Every structure is written in C-alpha cells, then in structure tokens.
C-alpha cells in the first residue's frame, strides 16, 4: 500500500524512500533516511542515476519493477552453502528490497539498468518536457 506523500519544496532530490520490510514507516526523504545498503543516488543534467553494490549477484537474482510513480529494486540472495567454516567473514552479501517514489519529472518508462563488476547502475532520464532547456534572450 502506498501512503499519501507530501513533497517538501526545494528538496534537492525529488525521490522518496520506503523500506518494504518495515510496514509502519511512511515514505521519507532520501536525505533524512538511513539506508542500510551501500548505494549512491546521483542527480545530473541527464536525469537520475542510482548505483547499488551487488556483490556476487547474478542478473537472474535482481528484479527492477515500476508501477505508476514507484520504482522497486529487489535482490534475493541465493542460500549460501552452510558447510563453509569461515575464519573471517565481512563481505556483505545480503538481500535487499528497496522502493522509491519517483518525482514526475523523471521518465520511469525509459529506465536503463546494467550490472558490471558488482555494481548495479540504474539510469532514469528526465521526462522529455521536463528536460532543462536554455531560453534565448533577445533585446529590443
């Protein structure tokens, strides 16, 4: 269930985050939330770029879905062999289920995603009519 969201004006990031595992939490600003997974969200002239560390992930284990203005990125980590006797274990190979409510200025129908060297990159371009454009000033 998606709850009503009040967008704070002048927020540098028009993206909101909801943790799907905690059903008692409303969407909060990315700037105000503690994200428990290594990711970067970058805003540029061409749109939005989300980069997520996906150590050991295969393409078949990751799903990216959209519904209206919501982007959901999910990784179900396959069960590891329990027979390993770790001397030291610090590589975070864990599942995640992230949901983002994305501003209408981004075009969720033109998302591109790639997985390279353990880094999932998701590019979300601006809507065509929302692209920044230069206005020529004429003098009279």
Q: Which residue has the tokens 């200025």?
A: 105
What pLDDT score was predicted for residue 49? 95
Whole-number pLDDT of residue 31:
56
Domain boundaries, the chain: 15-38+45-79+91-130
Whether the predicted model's global pTM rises above the 0.85 cut: no
Which fold is adopted by the domain 15-38+45-79+91-130? Immunoglobulin-like (2.60.40)
Say how far apart CA 72 and CA 101 lie, in whole Å.
Answer: 9
Task: Report how far residue 109's alpha carbon sits from residue 104's, in angstroms, rounded to the nearest whole number.
Answer: 11
Q: Where are the alpha helices (DSSP H) in the chain?
A: none
pLDDT tens per residue, the chain (140 residues)?
343 343 333 344 444 444 445 555 555 555 555 667 788 999 988 899 999 988 778 888 899 999 888 999 998 887 777 777 888 877 767 788 888 888 888 999 999 999 999 899 999 999 887 666 778 888 77
């Amino acid at each position: 269930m998606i709850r009503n969201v009040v967008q704070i004006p002048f927020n540098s990031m028009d993206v909101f985050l909801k943790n799907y595992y905690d059903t008692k939490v409303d969407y909060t600003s990315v700037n105000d939330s503690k994200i428990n997974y290594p990711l970067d969200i970058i805003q540029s002239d061409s749109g939005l770029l989300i980069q997520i560390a996906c150590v050991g992930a295969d393409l078949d284990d990751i799903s990216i879905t959209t519904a209206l203005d919501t982007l959901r990125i999910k990784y179900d980590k396959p069960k590891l062999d329990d027979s390993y006797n770790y001397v030291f274990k610090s590589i975070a190979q864990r599942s995640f289920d992230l949901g983002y409510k994305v501003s209408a200025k981004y075009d969720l129908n033109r998302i591109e995603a790639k997985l390279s060297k353990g880094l999932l990159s998701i590019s979300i371009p601006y809507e065509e009519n929302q692209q920044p454009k230069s206005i020529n000033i004429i003098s009279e």
